[in-house]
Amino acid sequence: MPSHALAPIYAQKPDVRGFYHARTGSIQYVVSDPMTGACAIIDPVLDYDEKSGATATIEADAILAYVAERALSVEWILDTHPHADHFSAAAYLKEQTGAKTGIGAHVVDVQRLWSDLYHLPDLATDGSQWDRLFAQGETFRIGSLDAHVLFSPGHTLASVTYVIGDAAFVHDTLFMPDSGTARADFPGGSAGSLWATIQVILSLPDETRLFTGHDYQPEGRAPLWESTVAEQKRCNPHVAGQSRADFIKLRKARDAILPMPRLILHALQVNIRGGRLPEPEDNGRRYLKIPLNALSGAAWE
């Protein structure tokens, strides 16, 4: 879709509230329409303690409390991709609100890849765990707000960016300008694809607000998650003055020494089910499945 056709979209200014999840460095969002009170929840976290195996809805309930306090109406629960470092709370929030769930259409490719790694032959790999699978360029509405979807591969096969008015939710593609960009070494990731995705995002108007999916507080600063296209182009060391070849070299060198997220094998089996935990077995307990040596070559912590 040409940028001039989207000019009215960029003129809209949704309210955006970020919720920082310190345990995983993740940011969850409520983006709402000031005119109608309709909202979407983006990338919500289901709490999980890998040491005890306990799950909880503390983060999701805090979001629901915010929604209730402001009398907002949840129309969408959106994930930007199947996350590798936390469980999605999309299924829980759908139960609580009745809102539609959505994710990028290429989630089916991630489902096929990871269902094979987990040996889950009975898992439906058609994306039917979500109400809507968004393809490149698709549009939808949140109240009176116009939104469109950019397919944003590189970090994962299925990543998308949600552009809602003048706000773009860029997940794990661009971090804050002092923190660079996301890794591209997960199964299905690609540094070359990530570079191309970044160029698309940076072709949005300079004043577009960019909301990232993670912040790891470099040098101990307070958590941050909002920047602009102009700031990223000017200040992000992975972008400013870099060529495609420079970026790929930098990204591959960095990724080679990064250990895998500690919850990647815990989280993907939940998130390819749309945030649903595995079904209870005949003793009433649920069990996660950890494939051994599935991510060979990953750096050790």
Q: Could you read off the pLDDT of 226-236 as tens digits, one per residue?
A: 999 999 999 99
Domain count, the chain: 1
Choose among 250, 251, 206: nearest CA to 227: 206
The amino acid at 33: D
Q: Measure the N-to-C terminal CA separation of the chain; round to a whole number of Å.
A: 44
Q: Is residue 205 part of a domain?
A: yes
Q: Which domain holds residue 84?
A: 3-271
Q: Is residue 40 part of a domain?
A: yes
Q: Is residue 5's pLDDT more than 90? A: no
The pLDDT confidence band at residue 301, using thresholds 50, 70 and 90, is: confident
| CATH number of the domain encompassing residue 174 | 3.60.15.10
Q: Is residue 219 part of a domain?
A: yes
Q: Is residue 291 part of a domain?
A: no
Q: Is residue 277 part of a domain?
A: no
Q: Cα–Cα distance between 2 and 8 in angstroms, integer?
A: 12
Q: Which residue, chain included where needed, has tokens 């577009």? A: 208
Given this model, what pLDDT does residue 77 score? 98
The amino acid at 122: D
Choose among 140, 144, 113, 112: nearest CA to 38: 144
Q: Is residue 285 part of a domain?
A: no
pLDDT in tens, 175-216: 999 999 999 999 999 999 999 999 999 999 999 999 999 999
What is the three-class DSSP state of 246?
helix
Q: Is residue 246 part of a domain?
A: yes
The 8-class DSSP code of residue 126 comes to S
Q: Cα–Cα distance between 214 and 224 in angstroms, integer?
A: 9
Q: Is residue 287 part of a domain?
A: no
Q: Is the pTM of this model over 0.85?
A: yes
